[in-house]
Amino acid sequence: MPRCPWATTEPAVAYHDEEWGVPLHNDRMLFEFLILEGAQAGLSWTTILKKRKNYRKAFDGFRPEKIARYGAREMKRLLSDAGIVRNRLKIAATISNAKAFLALLEEMESFDAYLWSFVGGKPIQNRWRTMADVPARTAESDAMSHELVRRGFKFVGSTICYALMQATGMVNDHLVTCPRHAELGGIRQRSSRSQRIRKEEQKATKVTKGLRKLCKRHPSLSSFASVEL
């Protein structure tokens, strides 16, 4: 079976096969994905994947406690770093998001528990057949976005939140034709041949039951029906 159609070249293929949609429960990694999804706004995800190592280096391994202390000196350094997206608003948002992240942890058990609460603590298993079926946002991502904005996070619109949910396994949005859908908890789709055989078996079973009922009502047909049964 084919992969999801958006994964055709590296590094997207490896990311699709190894990371995308895998349930993630690490606070620092969830923070990293939140920042990277925000950095993607207006760009392709492949662009961000290619810059991912540079981002980790530029932002001290996405350690919120360090990023929250960034000042004018670090801002100047980041704006001159060609290895990341040099957008002042996105860089400033990363710093403010680190502060919001630390403030949230003063109230919540973990960033992990907080984010996963929007999907009830377990992945939502979707069954999309085409990319056109996959939504850009949902009620869950709307709620997540609203709450993150309320807590001072930036670049966390509903579409960005849904992309975060897809990436970190809060939803299984691999198409049903993709092997990863079943591997990540989705119900494996029967092949068309298997479905056809199953329908024929069901049809034959109905016919057999019908003949048996007919024989009970008309015993004289038993000798004839025994050939069929």
Catalytic-role residue among 6, 15, 19, 74: 15
Distance of CA 201 to the CA centre of its chain: 36
CA-based Rg of the chain, rounded to a whole angstrom?
Answer: 26
Catalytic-residue membership of 55: no
Q: Which amino acid is at 204?
A: A
Catalytic-role residue among 6, 10, 20, 37: 37
96 vs 154: CA distance, rounded Å? 7
Catalytic-residue membership of 45: yes
156 vs 136: CA distance, rounded Å? 13
Catalytic-role residue among 19, 45, 74, 147: 45
Instruction: Report helix angle 158-167 to 139-150, nearest 10.
Output: 110
DSSP string covering 154-176 = SS--HHHHHHHHHHTTSEE-S-T
Beta strands 124-125 and 171-172 are parallel
Q: Which residues are catalytic?
A: 15, 37, 45
